[in-house]
Structure 1
Amino acid sequence: MKVSVTGFCQDTRRLGSGEMFVALKTGKRDGHDFLDAAKDRGASS
């Protein structure tokens, strides 16, 4: 499957349609907890 990515983002609040969500794990948060939110906002991957 070919996917077009228009950019990268690590914050689902700023994620644009077609961007790739980068889930980072830090001492305070785990970006993997926001995968569903990223999908709902139109992340391409």
Structure 2
Amino acid sequence: MHDLFGLALYPMMLRVTVPVSPVGIIVPVAATVALVTLIKWGGLS
């Protein structure tokens, strides 16, 4: 469950560093989806 908590914080940290704009929304979402996919395919879910 540590991974899920980290995945929830990671996009929020990106949102803080990226100016509020479409990119500030798309990048964290894309990063989260990519990380979740990697975890699922890695068999860690």
Question: What TM-score range do you get, normalising by the shorter chain?
Answer: 0.3 to 0.5
Normalized against structure 2, the TM-score is what? 0.35
- Higher Cα Rg: structure 1 or 2? 2
Q: Which structure shows the higher strand fraction?
A: 1
